[in-house]
Structure 1
Amino acid sequence: MSQHLDEVRSQCNQLIHAFAYFVDHREFSEAVALFTENGEFERPDGHVKGHTEIAALWANRPASVVTRHLCGVAHFTEISATTATAVTPFTLYQTQHEGEGLPQVSKPAGIGEFTDKFSLTDDGWKIAHRRGMPVLMYS
């Protein structure tokens, strides 16, 4: 049983970190594919459901917006054969950048938490519901 729990944790952790990578590297269709077909994504600016609505979150993101999500260790609060729930702290860096050179950032935009509910699908583990909320903001 412990080996099964470790495998679930591993696969769900891969989803958590893949999401951050895909969003930060502007591979938005790949980020959307991490969700179940009717997956939900909540953020301070709204709550969307399904691949089409999730994709719309990033459809008009200017190319000048640069982000990096640094995810901490996920704490799993529930694991079963077909579902899992985890809370993952993250630090968000965000800036505007155009042209040559490295983007400049003076401090993180904030510290938040992803609360994820995962579901085992025919295509493997997917995010069924993600809630990303700030917990600390820099002044």
Structure 2
Amino acid sequence: MDLAERIAIEHECAKLVQRYCILVDDFRHQELVALWARDGLWETWKGPLSGHAAMLAYLDAKPQTDTTIHMAHNIVIDVVDANNATGVATFAYYGTRRDDPKATIPRVVGRYFDRFVRTDDGWRFVHRRTDMTFRAS
């Protein structure tokens, strides 16, 4: 694999990390679930979700009343081979009512640990584990 191919894979996987943040904040659940491979595993803070149907049911059951912002940064993607990559990213999560005086304080800071796979539809998450390092009380 040449450098251009490696950079392209890193770019596509990093876009998935960023796109996740946008879609989850906009409650665009169908598009969000489509970021995973069909047999993907998402380890949420409430437990693991396997497959699109379980992910969609989890997302649709969550309240959609708060304004949320997920910010991912320090994204590092490591290419394993032409069809697999891993990644880690630091994230901050803000979520509350817009008029809450604590709105600018993150509710959670942590890391995403990701595995990516190339599918017929392009790069997708095959596994995501969220580590909530710091949580607001």
State TM-score, norm by structure 2: 0.91
Please state how far the C-alpha of 1:113 moved relative to its aligned partner. 0.7
Identity rate of aligned residues, in percent? 28
Question: Residue in 1 aligned with 2:48?
Answer: 47
Instruction: Report 1:107-122 matches (<5 A).
Output: 107-122=105-120
Whether contact under 8 Å (1:115, 1:132) holds in the other structure is yes
Indicate the RMSD between aligned Cα atoms, in angstroms. Answer: 1.4
Shift of the alpha carbon at 1:132?
Answer: 1.1
Post-superposition offset of 1:78: 4.1
Structure 2 residues not aligned, in runs of 5+: none
**Distance in 1 between the 2:10 and 2:70 partners?**
20
Matched with 2:9 is: 8
Counterpart of 1:131? 129
In the TM superposition, what are the counterparts of 1:1-139 in structure 2 within 5 Å? 1-95=2-96, 97=97, 102-104=98-100, 105-139=103-137
Q: Quick one: distance in 1 between partners of 2:135 and 2:10?
A: 29
Q: Write the deviation string for residues 60-111 of structure 1: whole angstroms up to 9, x where unpaired.
A: 222212211111021124431000000000001111x3xxxx4431410021
Distance in 2, matches of 1:35 and 1:29, equals 11
Aligned residues: 134
Q: SS at the partner of 2:74?
A: coil
d(CA) in 2 for partners of 1:37, 1:103: 39
